[in-house]
Structure 1
Amino acid sequence: MKDAPPKPIRFGDLGLRLASGVALALIALVDLWMGGFWVAALVAVALVLMLWELHRMVTGDADLLAPSFVVLGICGAGAVFVTLFLGLPAGLACLVAGGALVFAYGGRRVGWLVGGLGYMGGAMCALIPLRNLEPSGMIVVLWLVIVVVATDVGAYFVGRMVGGPRLWARVSPGKTRSGAVGGLVAAALVGLPLGIWAGLGPVEALLLSLGASVASQAGDLLESAVKRRFGVKDASHLIPGHGGVMDRLDGLMGAVWLLAICGLFGLGSLG
Protein backbone atom coordinates (compact mmCIF):
# COMPACT_ATOMS: atom_id res chain seq x y z
CA MET A 1 0.00 0.00 0.00
CA LYS A 2 1.40 3.37 -1.02
CA ASP A 3 1.92 6.10 1.47
CA ALA A 4 -0.61 8.90 1.35
CA PRO A 5 0.69 12.02 -0.40
CA PRO A 6 1.79 14.78 1.93
CA LYS A 7 -0.73 17.46 2.67
CA PRO A 8 -0.13 20.65 0.70
CA ILE A 9 1.18 23.68 2.49
CA ARG A 10 -1.72 26.07 2.54
CA PHE A 11 -1.08 29.77 2.35
CA GLY A 12 -4.28 30.64 0.54
CA ASP A 13 -5.12 33.41 2.99
CA LEU A 14 -1.62 34.91 3.03
CA GLY A 15 -2.28 37.71 0.53
CA LEU A 16 -5.37 38.99 2.31
CA ARG A 17 -3.71 38.69 5.72
CA LEU A 18 -0.67 40.57 4.45
CA ALA A 19 -2.64 43.40 2.87
CA SER A 20 -4.85 44.05 5.89
CA GLY A 21 -1.87 43.56 8.22
CA VAL A 22 0.18 46.21 6.41
CA ALA A 23 -2.73 48.66 6.47
CA LEU A 24 -3.23 48.15 10.20
CA ALA A 25 0.51 48.46 10.83
CA LEU A 26 0.69 51.81 9.04
CA ILE A 27 -2.25 53.20 11.00
CA ALA A 28 -0.79 51.99 14.29
CA LEU A 29 2.69 53.30 13.49
CA VAL A 30 1.45 56.81 12.67
CA ASP A 31 -0.77 56.83 15.75
CA LEU A 32 2.06 55.57 17.97
CA TRP A 33 4.33 58.31 16.66
CA MET A 34 1.72 61.00 17.39
CA GLY A 35 1.27 59.76 20.97
CA GLY A 36 -0.87 61.30 23.69
CA PHE A 37 -4.56 61.70 22.90
CA TRP A 38 -4.23 59.91 19.55
CA VAL A 39 -2.85 56.74 21.10
CA ALA A 40 -5.59 56.80 23.73
CA ALA A 41 -8.24 57.29 21.04
CA LEU A 42 -7.03 54.34 18.97
CA VAL A 43 -6.70 52.14 22.07
CA ALA A 44 -10.20 53.12 23.21
CA VAL A 45 -11.72 52.30 19.81
CA ALA A 46 -9.94 48.94 19.73
CA LEU A 47 -11.13 48.12 23.25
CA VAL A 48 -14.75 49.02 22.51
CA LEU A 49 -14.70 46.86 19.37
CA MET A 50 -13.27 43.93 21.34
CA LEU A 51 -15.90 44.36 24.04
CA TRP A 52 -18.58 44.31 21.34
CA GLU A 53 -17.07 41.11 19.94
CA LEU A 54 -17.06 39.54 23.41
CA HIS A 55 -20.63 40.65 24.11
CA ARG A 56 -21.77 39.27 20.75
CA MET A 57 -19.92 36.02 21.36
CA VAL A 58 -21.12 35.23 24.87
CA THR A 59 -24.66 36.63 24.79
CA GLY A 60 -25.55 36.20 21.11
CA ASP A 61 -26.67 39.85 21.04
CA ALA A 62 -24.81 42.04 18.51
CA ASP A 63 -26.99 45.10 19.13
CA LEU A 64 -24.80 48.16 19.67
CA LEU A 65 -27.51 49.60 21.93
CA ALA A 66 -27.79 46.55 24.20
CA PRO A 67 -27.66 48.01 27.76
CA SER A 68 -24.94 45.67 28.98
CA PHE A 69 -22.74 46.49 25.99
CA VAL A 70 -23.34 50.23 26.34
CA VAL A 71 -22.09 50.03 29.92
CA LEU A 72 -19.11 47.95 28.84
CA GLY A 73 -18.19 50.32 26.04
CA ILE A 74 -18.54 53.53 28.05
CA CYS A 75 -16.58 52.18 31.01
CA GLY A 76 -13.89 50.65 28.80
CA ALA A 77 -13.32 53.78 26.71
CA GLY A 78 -13.64 55.97 29.79
CA ALA A 79 -10.99 53.94 31.62
CA VAL A 80 -8.53 54.49 28.77
CA PHE A 81 -8.92 58.28 28.87
CA VAL A 82 -8.93 58.34 32.67
CA THR A 83 -5.62 56.48 32.49
CA LEU A 84 -4.27 59.08 30.06
CA PHE A 85 -5.17 62.06 32.26
CA LEU A 86 -5.12 60.64 35.81
CA GLY A 87 -2.87 57.58 35.64
CA LEU A 88 -3.24 53.81 35.54
CA PRO A 89 -4.62 53.30 39.11
CA ALA A 90 -7.52 55.66 38.32
CA GLY A 91 -8.14 53.87 35.03
CA LEU A 92 -8.23 50.50 36.75
CA ALA A 93 -10.66 51.90 39.32
CA CYS A 94 -12.90 52.93 36.43
CA LEU A 95 -12.79 49.35 35.13
CA VAL A 96 -13.75 48.02 38.56
CA ALA A 97 -16.69 50.41 38.72
CA GLY A 98 -17.73 49.38 35.22
CA GLY A 99 -17.53 45.71 36.14
CA ALA A 100 -19.73 46.34 39.16
CA LEU A 101 -22.31 48.12 36.99
CA VAL A 102 -22.36 45.29 34.45
CA PHE A 103 -22.68 42.72 37.23
CA ALA A 104 -25.49 44.69 38.86
CA TYR A 105 -27.33 44.87 35.55
CA GLY A 106 -27.17 41.08 35.31
CA GLY A 107 -28.19 39.31 32.16
CA ARG A 108 -26.80 36.28 30.38
CA ARG A 109 -23.29 35.14 31.28
CA VAL A 110 -22.50 38.36 33.06
CA GLY A 111 -19.36 36.85 34.59
CA TRP A 112 -17.78 36.51 31.15
CA LEU A 113 -18.49 40.16 30.40
CA VAL A 114 -17.01 41.37 33.69
CA GLY A 115 -13.96 39.14 33.25
CA GLY A 116 -13.46 40.35 29.69
CA LEU A 117 -13.69 43.99 30.75
CA GLY A 118 -11.05 43.41 33.41
CA TYR A 119 -8.66 41.40 31.27
CA MET A 120 -8.90 43.34 28.01
CA GLY A 121 -9.46 46.72 29.64
CA GLY A 122 -6.53 46.28 32.00
CA ALA A 123 -4.16 45.36 29.16
CA MET A 124 -5.27 48.20 26.90
CA CYS A 125 -5.11 50.78 29.69
CA ALA A 126 -1.58 49.61 30.53
CA LEU A 127 -0.47 50.51 27.00
CA ILE A 128 -0.96 54.21 27.81
CA PRO A 129 1.73 54.57 30.53
CA LEU A 130 3.96 52.22 28.54
CA ARG A 131 3.82 54.59 25.56
CA ASN A 132 4.46 57.55 27.89
CA LEU A 133 7.67 56.11 29.33
CA GLU A 134 10.52 58.59 29.02
CA PRO A 135 12.55 58.86 26.93
CA SER A 136 11.84 55.77 24.81
CA GLY A 137 8.16 54.89 25.26
CA MET A 138 7.46 54.76 21.54
CA ILE A 139 10.40 52.44 20.94
CA VAL A 140 9.37 50.19 23.84
CA VAL A 141 5.83 49.78 22.49
CA LEU A 142 7.20 49.29 18.99
CA TRP A 143 9.55 46.59 20.30
CA LEU A 144 6.67 44.83 22.06
CA VAL A 145 4.38 44.96 19.03
CA ILE A 146 7.10 43.68 16.69
CA VAL A 147 7.94 40.82 19.07
CA VAL A 148 4.27 39.81 19.12
CA VAL A 149 3.99 40.08 15.33
CA ALA A 150 7.22 38.09 14.89
CA THR A 151 5.80 35.40 17.17
CA ASP A 152 2.64 35.23 15.09
CA VAL A 153 4.51 35.19 11.76
CA GLY A 154 7.09 32.64 12.93
CA ALA A 155 4.39 30.35 14.28
CA TYR A 156 2.31 30.74 11.10
CA PHE A 157 5.05 29.80 8.65
CA VAL A 158 6.88 27.17 10.71
CA GLY A 159 3.64 25.57 11.81
CA ARG A 160 2.36 25.27 8.26
CA MET A 161 5.65 24.12 6.76
CA VAL A 162 6.78 21.71 9.48
CA GLY A 163 3.51 20.65 11.08
CA GLY A 164 3.77 17.95 13.71
CA PRO A 165 2.03 17.44 17.06
CA ARG A 166 -0.62 19.91 18.11
CA LEU A 167 0.23 22.41 20.81
CA TRP A 168 -3.15 22.03 22.53
CA ALA A 169 -5.51 20.20 20.22
CA ARG A 170 -8.57 20.49 22.46
CA VAL A 171 -8.35 24.28 22.51
CA SER A 172 -6.77 25.19 19.16
CA PRO A 173 -6.40 22.35 16.63
CA GLY A 174 -4.52 24.57 14.17
CA LYS A 175 -1.57 25.39 16.42
CA THR A 176 1.45 23.09 16.50
CA ARG A 177 4.43 22.70 18.80
CA SER A 178 6.75 23.41 15.89
CA GLY A 179 4.89 26.66 15.28
CA ALA A 180 5.26 27.64 18.95
CA VAL A 181 9.02 27.07 18.74
CA GLY A 182 9.18 28.97 15.45
CA GLY A 183 7.41 31.88 17.11
CA LEU A 184 9.88 31.87 20.00
CA VAL A 185 12.87 31.86 17.67
CA ALA A 186 11.45 34.66 15.53
CA ALA A 187 10.69 36.74 18.65
CA ALA A 188 14.24 36.28 19.93
CA LEU A 189 15.80 37.21 16.59
CA VAL A 190 13.94 40.50 16.27
CA GLY A 191 13.44 41.23 19.96
CA LEU A 192 17.08 41.19 20.96
CA PRO A 193 18.33 44.05 18.74
CA LEU A 194 15.12 46.05 19.14
CA GLY A 195 15.18 45.60 22.91
CA ILE A 196 18.76 46.89 23.04
CA TRP A 197 17.65 49.86 20.91
CA ALA A 198 14.86 50.47 23.45
CA GLY A 199 17.46 50.73 26.22
CA LEU A 200 17.47 47.18 27.61
CA GLY A 201 20.59 45.18 28.32
CA PRO A 202 21.26 42.21 25.98
CA VAL A 203 20.26 39.53 28.50
CA GLU A 204 17.19 41.46 29.62
CA ALA A 205 16.17 42.12 26.02
CA LEU A 206 16.45 38.43 25.16
CA LEU A 207 14.61 37.20 28.26
CA LEU A 208 11.81 39.75 27.93
CA SER A 209 11.44 38.99 24.22
CA LEU A 210 11.13 35.26 24.95
CA GLY A 211 8.76 35.95 27.85
CA ALA A 212 6.63 38.26 25.72
CA SER A 213 6.50 35.59 23.02
CA VAL A 214 5.32 32.94 25.50
CA ALA A 215 2.76 35.37 26.98
CA SER A 216 1.60 36.29 23.47
CA GLN A 217 0.98 32.65 22.60
CA ALA A 218 -0.77 32.15 25.94
CA GLY A 219 -3.04 35.10 25.17
CA ASP A 220 -3.79 33.58 21.78
CA LEU A 221 -4.67 30.24 23.40
CA LEU A 222 -6.85 31.96 25.97
CA GLU A 223 -8.91 33.61 23.26
CA SER A 224 -9.07 30.31 21.35
CA ALA A 225 -10.43 28.63 24.48
CA VAL A 226 -13.13 31.28 24.86
CA LYS A 227 -14.12 31.00 21.20
CA ARG A 228 -14.26 27.22 21.43
CA ARG A 229 -16.39 27.50 24.57
CA PHE A 230 -18.96 29.50 22.61
CA GLY A 231 -18.59 27.66 19.32
CA VAL A 232 -17.24 30.45 17.11
CA LYS A 233 -14.26 30.43 14.76
CA ASP A 234 -13.51 34.16 14.75
CA ALA A 235 -14.43 36.89 17.20
CA SER A 236 -15.92 38.80 14.24
CA HIS A 237 -15.11 39.60 10.61
CA LEU A 238 -14.08 43.21 11.06
CA ILE A 239 -10.52 42.68 9.76
CA PRO A 240 -10.22 40.84 6.40
CA GLY A 241 -8.00 37.78 6.71
CA HIS A 242 -7.61 38.14 10.47
CA GLY A 243 -11.12 37.83 11.85
CA GLY A 244 -11.88 40.29 14.59
CA VAL A 245 -9.99 42.90 16.57
CA MET A 246 -9.75 40.46 19.45
CA ASP A 247 -8.21 37.88 17.11
CA ARG A 248 -5.56 40.43 16.14
CA LEU A 249 -4.77 41.78 19.61
CA ASP A 250 -5.06 38.66 21.77
CA GLY A 251 -1.31 38.09 21.69
CA LEU A 252 -0.47 41.73 22.39
CA MET A 253 -2.72 41.73 25.45
CA GLY A 254 -0.96 38.67 26.83
CA ALA A 255 2.43 40.33 26.32
CA VAL A 256 1.27 43.58 27.95
CA TRP A 257 0.07 41.65 30.98
CA LEU A 258 3.52 40.09 31.27
CA LEU A 259 5.20 43.51 31.28
CA ALA A 260 2.63 44.80 33.78
CA ILE A 261 3.37 41.91 36.14
CA CYS A 262 7.12 42.45 35.72
CA GLY A 263 6.64 46.13 36.52
CA LEU A 264 4.50 45.33 39.56
CA PHE A 265 7.25 43.18 41.04
CA GLY A 266 10.07 45.45 39.93
CA LEU A 267 11.45 42.97 37.40
CA GLY A 268 13.21 44.56 34.45
CA SER A 269 14.12 48.15 33.71
CA LEU A 270 10.76 48.75 32.01
CA GLY A 271 9.09 48.65 35.38
Structure 2
Amino acid sequence: MAPQNPSETAPSSPVKAKPIWKNLGVRFWSAIVFSAICLVPFYFGGLAWAAFVALLAARLTWEWVRMSDPAPTPLAFAIPIIGIIIAVILAAFMDYNFAVLSLVIAALIAAVERFKRKGILWAALGYIYVAVPTLMIVWLRGAETGFGALGLQQLFFVILVVVAADTGAYFGGSLMKGPKIAPKLSPNKTWSGFMTGLVFGIFIGVVTGHVMGLAWGLAAALSVPIVIFSVVGDFLESGLKRRLNVKDAGDLLPGHGGLLDRLDGLMLAVVAAGLILMVYPQIWTTVS
Protein backbone atom coordinates (compact mmCIF):
# COMPACT_ATOMS: atom_id res chain seq x y z
CA MET A 1 0.00 0.00 0.00
CA ALA A 2 1.47 3.31 -1.08
CA PRO A 3 2.16 5.74 1.73
CA GLN A 4 -0.24 8.62 1.95
CA ASN A 5 0.87 12.09 1.06
CA PRO A 6 1.30 14.01 4.33
CA SER A 7 -0.30 17.03 2.72
CA GLU A 8 -3.43 14.94 2.12
CA THR A 9 -3.75 13.62 5.66
CA ALA A 10 -2.47 16.49 7.80
CA PRO A 11 -5.18 18.91 8.86
CA SER A 12 -4.81 22.25 7.27
CA SER A 13 -3.55 24.86 9.69
CA PRO A 14 -6.06 27.57 10.37
CA VAL A 15 -5.36 30.85 8.65
CA LYS A 16 -5.21 33.67 11.11
CA ALA A 17 -7.53 36.45 10.17
CA LYS A 18 -5.82 39.75 9.71
CA PRO A 19 -6.98 42.13 12.42
CA ILE A 20 -9.29 44.78 11.04
CA TRP A 21 -8.08 47.53 13.32
CA LYS A 22 -4.37 46.96 13.68
CA ASN A 23 -2.65 48.96 16.43
CA LEU A 24 -5.99 50.47 17.47
CA GLY A 25 -5.13 50.42 21.17
CA VAL A 26 -1.71 51.97 20.64
CA ARG A 27 -3.15 54.64 18.37
CA PHE A 28 -5.88 55.44 20.88
CA TRP A 29 -3.62 55.86 23.88
CA SER A 30 -0.98 57.83 22.02
CA ALA A 31 -3.75 60.17 20.83
CA ILE A 32 -5.05 60.53 24.41
CA VAL A 33 -1.59 61.36 25.77
CA PHE A 34 -0.94 63.86 22.98
CA SER A 35 -4.32 65.53 23.61
CA ALA A 36 -3.61 65.78 27.33
CA ILE A 37 -0.29 67.51 26.63
CA CYS A 38 -2.07 70.04 24.40
CA LEU A 39 -4.82 70.84 26.90
CA VAL A 40 -3.16 73.41 29.19
CA PRO A 41 -1.62 75.68 26.50
CA PHE A 42 -4.79 75.31 24.45
CA TYR A 43 -6.85 76.61 27.39
CA PHE A 44 -4.64 79.64 28.04
CA GLY A 45 -4.02 80.63 24.42
CA GLY A 46 -1.79 83.59 23.65
CA LEU A 47 1.91 83.14 24.40
CA ALA A 48 1.39 79.76 26.08
CA TRP A 49 -0.31 78.37 22.99
CA ALA A 50 2.18 80.02 20.63
CA ALA A 51 5.12 78.53 22.53
CA PHE A 52 3.55 75.08 22.35
CA VAL A 53 2.76 75.46 18.64
CA ALA A 54 6.35 76.61 18.04
CA LEU A 55 7.60 73.33 19.53
CA LEU A 56 5.22 71.34 17.34
CA ALA A 57 6.22 73.37 14.29
CA ALA A 58 9.90 72.78 15.00
CA ARG A 59 9.26 69.03 15.15
CA LEU A 60 7.15 69.12 11.96
CA THR A 61 9.92 71.03 10.20
CA TRP A 62 12.54 68.58 11.43
CA GLU A 63 10.46 65.68 10.10
CA TRP A 64 10.03 67.40 6.74
CA VAL A 65 13.77 68.04 6.32
CA ARG A 66 14.56 64.48 7.40
CA MET A 67 12.00 63.14 4.93
CA SER A 68 12.85 65.31 1.94
CA ASP A 69 16.62 65.80 2.18
CA PRO A 70 18.74 62.67 1.53
CA ALA A 71 21.84 64.25 3.12
CA PRO A 72 20.75 67.06 5.42
CA THR A 73 23.33 69.31 7.04
CA PRO A 74 22.88 70.88 10.49
CA LEU A 75 22.01 74.13 8.71
CA ALA A 76 19.28 72.33 6.74
CA PHE A 77 17.50 71.73 10.04
CA ALA A 78 18.47 74.94 11.84
CA ILE A 79 17.44 77.50 9.20
CA PRO A 80 13.76 76.54 8.82
CA ILE A 81 13.31 75.68 12.50
CA ILE A 82 14.66 79.05 13.67
CA GLY A 83 12.63 80.81 11.01
CA ILE A 84 9.36 79.18 12.02
CA ILE A 85 9.94 79.81 15.73
CA ILE A 86 10.56 83.51 15.03
CA ALA A 87 7.41 83.64 12.89
CA VAL A 88 5.28 82.05 15.62
CA ILE A 89 6.62 84.47 18.24
CA LEU A 90 5.77 87.41 15.98
CA ALA A 91 2.31 85.93 15.37
CA ALA A 92 1.77 85.64 19.12
CA PHE A 93 2.19 89.44 19.30
CA MET A 94 -0.21 89.86 16.34
CA ASP A 95 2.56 91.06 14.04
CA TYR A 96 1.55 88.88 11.10
CA ASN A 97 3.20 91.03 8.42
CA PHE A 98 6.65 90.46 9.89
CA ALA A 99 5.74 86.84 10.68
CA VAL A 100 5.04 86.16 7.01
CA LEU A 101 8.14 88.11 5.99
CA SER A 102 10.31 86.02 8.31
CA LEU A 103 8.88 82.85 6.78
CA VAL A 104 9.64 84.03 3.25
CA ILE A 105 13.21 84.97 4.20
CA ALA A 106 13.78 81.63 5.96
CA ALA A 107 12.36 79.74 2.97
CA LEU A 108 14.71 81.56 0.59
CA ILE A 109 17.73 80.92 2.82
CA ALA A 110 16.75 77.24 3.15
CA ALA A 111 16.49 76.99 -0.63
CA VAL A 112 19.95 78.54 -1.09
CA GLU A 113 21.43 76.17 1.50
CA ARG A 114 19.92 73.24 -0.41
CA PHE A 115 21.22 74.46 -3.79
CA LYS A 116 24.35 72.29 -3.97
CA ARG A 117 22.39 69.13 -3.02
CA LYS A 118 19.56 69.97 -5.42
CA GLY A 119 15.92 69.84 -4.42
CA ILE A 120 15.46 73.58 -3.86
CA LEU A 121 11.69 73.35 -4.27
CA TRP A 122 11.47 70.59 -1.67
CA ALA A 123 13.22 72.87 0.83
CA ALA A 124 11.18 76.01 0.13
CA LEU A 125 7.72 74.62 -0.63
CA GLY A 126 7.93 72.00 2.11
CA TYR A 127 8.75 74.73 4.59
CA ILE A 128 5.69 76.73 3.50
CA TYR A 129 3.62 73.54 3.72
CA VAL A 130 4.38 73.42 7.44
CA ALA A 131 4.53 77.16 8.13
CA VAL A 132 1.17 78.32 6.77
CA PRO A 133 -0.96 76.00 8.94
CA THR A 134 1.26 76.87 11.90
CA LEU A 135 0.51 80.58 11.64
CA MET A 136 -3.15 79.90 10.96
CA ILE A 137 -3.56 77.78 14.07
CA VAL A 138 -1.97 80.54 16.20
CA TRP A 139 -4.23 83.17 14.65
CA LEU A 140 -7.34 81.03 14.96
CA ARG A 141 -6.80 80.29 18.67
CA GLY A 142 -6.10 83.91 19.57
CA ALA A 143 -5.00 85.35 22.91
CA GLU A 144 -8.16 85.04 25.03
CA THR A 145 -8.06 82.60 27.94
CA GLY A 146 -10.76 80.13 28.92
CA PHE A 147 -13.35 77.85 27.41
CA GLY A 148 -15.54 80.81 26.54
CA ALA A 149 -12.90 82.31 24.23
CA LEU A 150 -14.13 82.53 20.65
CA GLY A 151 -10.81 81.31 19.24
CA LEU A 152 -10.77 78.28 21.53
CA GLN A 153 -14.30 77.33 20.49
CA GLN A 154 -13.61 77.76 16.79
CA LEU A 155 -10.36 75.80 16.85
CA PHE A 156 -11.89 73.13 19.08
CA PHE A 157 -14.74 72.82 16.58
CA VAL A 158 -12.28 72.28 13.72
CA ILE A 159 -10.27 69.71 15.67
CA LEU A 160 -13.36 67.73 16.72
CA VAL A 161 -14.72 67.63 13.16
CA VAL A 162 -11.37 66.43 11.78
CA VAL A 163 -11.01 63.76 14.49
CA ALA A 164 -14.61 62.63 13.95
CA ALA A 165 -14.14 62.42 10.18
CA ASP A 166 -10.88 60.51 10.60
CA THR A 167 -12.47 58.09 13.08
CA GLY A 168 -15.57 57.58 10.95
CA ALA A 169 -13.46 56.94 7.85
CA TYR A 170 -11.22 54.52 9.75
CA PHE A 171 -14.05 52.35 11.06
CA GLY A 172 -16.35 52.74 8.05
CA GLY A 173 -13.64 51.93 5.53
CA SER A 174 -12.42 48.96 7.57
CA LEU A 175 -15.91 47.46 7.87
CA MET A 176 -17.44 48.21 4.46
CA LYS A 177 -14.30 48.37 2.30
CA GLY A 178 -15.22 48.78 -1.37
CA PRO A 179 -13.63 50.82 -4.19
CA LYS A 180 -10.50 52.80 -3.47
CA ILE A 181 -10.43 56.56 -3.97
CA ALA A 182 -6.85 56.87 -5.20
CA PRO A 183 -4.93 53.61 -4.63
CA LYS A 184 -1.68 55.02 -6.04
CA LEU A 185 -1.66 57.74 -3.41
CA SER A 186 -3.20 55.97 -0.44
CA PRO A 187 -4.13 52.30 -0.94
CA ASN A 188 -6.26 52.11 2.22
CA LYS A 189 -8.60 55.01 1.52
CA THR A 190 -12.04 53.92 0.23
CA TRP A 191 -15.13 55.77 -0.87
CA SER A 192 -17.09 54.07 1.89
CA GLY A 193 -14.59 55.41 4.42
CA PHE A 194 -14.83 58.90 2.94
CA MET A 195 -18.63 58.90 3.10
CA THR A 196 -18.81 57.58 6.66
CA GLY A 197 -16.15 60.08 7.66
CA LEU A 198 -18.10 62.91 6.03
CA VAL A 199 -21.36 61.92 7.73
CA PHE A 200 -19.74 61.46 11.13
CA GLY A 201 -17.78 64.70 10.79
CA ILE A 202 -20.93 66.67 9.96
CA PHE A 203 -22.84 65.00 12.79
CA ILE A 204 -20.19 65.85 15.38
CA GLY A 205 -19.91 69.34 13.92
CA VAL A 206 -23.65 69.93 14.31
CA VAL A 207 -23.69 68.53 17.87
CA THR A 208 -20.63 70.57 18.88
CA GLY A 209 -22.04 73.67 17.22
CA HIS A 210 -25.33 73.20 19.08
CA VAL A 211 -23.49 73.04 22.41
CA MET A 212 -21.62 76.24 21.49
CA GLY A 213 -24.83 77.98 20.44
CA LEU A 214 -24.03 77.82 16.73
CA ALA A 215 -26.89 77.50 14.25
CA TRP A 216 -27.05 73.89 13.12
CA GLY A 217 -27.22 74.73 9.42
CA LEU A 218 -24.12 76.91 9.63
CA ALA A 219 -22.32 74.27 11.70
CA ALA A 220 -23.06 71.67 9.03
CA ALA A 221 -22.00 74.06 6.25
CA LEU A 222 -18.68 74.74 8.00
CA SER A 223 -18.11 71.04 8.72
CA VAL A 224 -18.24 69.98 5.06
CA PRO A 225 -15.16 71.88 3.79
CA ILE A 226 -13.28 71.01 7.00
CA VAL A 227 -13.83 67.29 6.34
CA ILE A 228 -13.03 67.56 2.63
CA PHE A 229 -9.80 69.51 3.16
CA SER A 230 -8.72 67.17 5.94
CA VAL A 231 -9.00 64.30 3.44
CA VAL A 232 -7.12 66.34 0.81
CA GLY A 233 -4.40 67.03 3.38
CA ASP A 234 -4.13 63.33 4.14
CA PHE A 235 -3.81 62.51 0.45
CA LEU A 236 -1.29 65.31 -0.05
CA GLU A 237 1.01 63.98 2.63
CA SER A 238 0.59 60.40 1.36
CA GLY A 239 1.53 61.57 -2.14
CA LEU A 240 4.55 63.45 -0.85
CA LYS A 241 5.76 60.40 1.08
CA ARG A 242 5.36 58.20 -1.98
CA ARG A 243 7.19 60.73 -4.12
CA LEU A 244 10.01 60.85 -1.55
CA ASN A 245 9.91 57.08 -1.07
CA VAL A 246 9.44 57.11 2.70
CA LYS A 247 6.94 55.17 4.80
CA ASP A 248 6.51 57.53 7.74
CA ALA A 249 7.65 61.06 8.49
CA GLY A 250 8.95 59.91 11.88
CA ASP A 251 8.31 57.68 14.86
CA LEU A 252 7.31 60.12 17.58
CA LEU A 253 3.75 58.83 18.07
CA PRO A 254 3.32 55.05 18.51
CA GLY A 255 0.81 53.65 16.05
CA HIS A 256 0.74 56.86 14.01
CA GLY A 257 4.31 57.51 12.88
CA GLY A 258 5.57 61.06 12.96
CA LEU A 259 3.80 64.23 13.99
CA LEU A 260 3.42 65.08 10.32
CA ASP A 261 1.64 61.75 9.77
CA ARG A 262 -0.81 62.53 12.58
CA LEU A 263 -1.52 66.19 11.80
CA ASP A 264 -1.55 66.12 7.99
CA GLY A 265 -5.33 66.30 7.71
CA LEU A 266 -5.69 68.92 10.45
CA MET A 267 -3.08 71.16 8.85
CA LEU A 268 -5.04 71.73 5.66
CA ALA A 269 -8.39 71.75 7.47
CA VAL A 270 -7.19 74.57 9.75
CA VAL A 271 -6.09 76.60 6.73
CA ALA A 272 -9.47 76.06 5.03
CA ALA A 273 -11.47 76.91 8.16
CA GLY A 274 -9.32 79.94 8.89
CA LEU A 275 -9.76 81.34 5.39
CA ILE A 276 -13.54 80.77 5.54
CA LEU A 277 -13.76 82.57 8.90
CA MET A 278 -11.62 85.43 7.56
CA VAL A 279 -13.70 85.93 4.43
CA TYR A 280 -17.10 85.04 5.88
CA PRO A 281 -17.03 85.47 9.68
CA GLN A 282 -20.85 85.51 9.70
CA ILE A 283 -20.82 81.72 9.31
CA TRP A 284 -19.99 81.57 13.02
CA THR A 285 -23.32 83.12 13.95
CA THR A 286 -24.56 81.98 17.33
CA VAL A 287 -28.22 81.54 18.12
CA SER A 288 -29.36 84.08 20.69
TM-score for the superposition, normalised by structure 2: 0.86
For the structure 1 residues 104 and 198, does the alpha-carbon distance in structure 2 shift closer, same or farther, using more than 3 Å as the test? farther
1:31 is displaced (CA, Å) by 2.1
CA distance in 2, matches of 1:268, 1:85: 25
Deviation of 1:270 after TM superposition, in Å, equals 5.1
Q: CA contact under 8 A between 1:52 and 1:62: conserved in structure 2? A: no
1:208-247 aligned at under 5 Å gives the runs: 208-247=222-261
In the TM superposition, residue 133 of structure 1 has moved relative to its aligned partner by: 7.0
Distance 1:55 1:214 in 2: 27
Long gaps (5+) in structure 1 = none
Alpha-carbon RMSD: 2.1
In the alignment, the residues of structure 2 paired with residue 127 and residue 75 of structure 1 have an alpha-carbon distance, to the nearest angstrom, of: 17
Matching residue of 1:79:
87
Match of 2:10 in 1: none
Query: What are the superposed Cα offsets for residues 196-224 of structure 1, whole Å, 9 maximum, x if unpaired?
Result: 44453222110111110111010000000
What is the one-letter code of the residue matched to 2:109?
A: L
Distance in 1, Cα, partners of 2:65 & 2:154:
31
Percent identity between matched residues is 33
Write the distance in 1 (CA, Å) between the matches of 2:185 and 2:21: 22
Aligned residue number for residue 6 of structure 2: none
Matches within 5 A, 1:56-95: 56-61=66-71, 66-95=74-103
Q: Is the 8 A contact 1:40 1:84 kept in 2?
A: yes
Kindly indicate whether residue 154 of structure 2 is the aligned counterpart of residue 146 of structure 1: no
Find runs of 4+ consecutive structure 1 residues off by over 6 angstroms.
none
Tell me if the contact between 1:71 and 1:102 (Cα under 8 Å) persists in the aligned partners.
Answer: yes
- 1:120 alignment counterpart: 130
Tell me, in whole angstroms, the C-alpha distance in 2 between the residues paired with 1:168 and 1:35: 38
- Contact 2:45 2:143 (8 Å CA) reproduced: no
Trace 1:4-153 onto structure 2 (pairs within 5 A).
Answer: 8-61=18-71, 66-105=74-113, 106=115, 107-132=117-142, 135-153=149-167
Matched, 1:190 2:204: yes
Number of matched residues?
A: 265
Q: Cα deviation per residue 1:17-62 (whole Å; 9 max; x = unaligned)? A: 0110110111112221122222111111111111111111111246
State how far apart, in whole Å, the 2-side matches of 1:229 and 1:50 are. 18
CA contact (8 A) 2:112 2:120 kept: no
How far residue 261 of structure 1 moved from its aligned partner, in angstroms, is: 2.5
TM, length-normalised to structure 1: 0.91
Q: Distance in 2 between matches of 1:24 and 1:62?
A: 28
Deviations 1:92-147 (A, max 9, x none): 22211111211222243121121122122111111112111764211111111111
Unaligned runs of 5+ in 2: 1-14
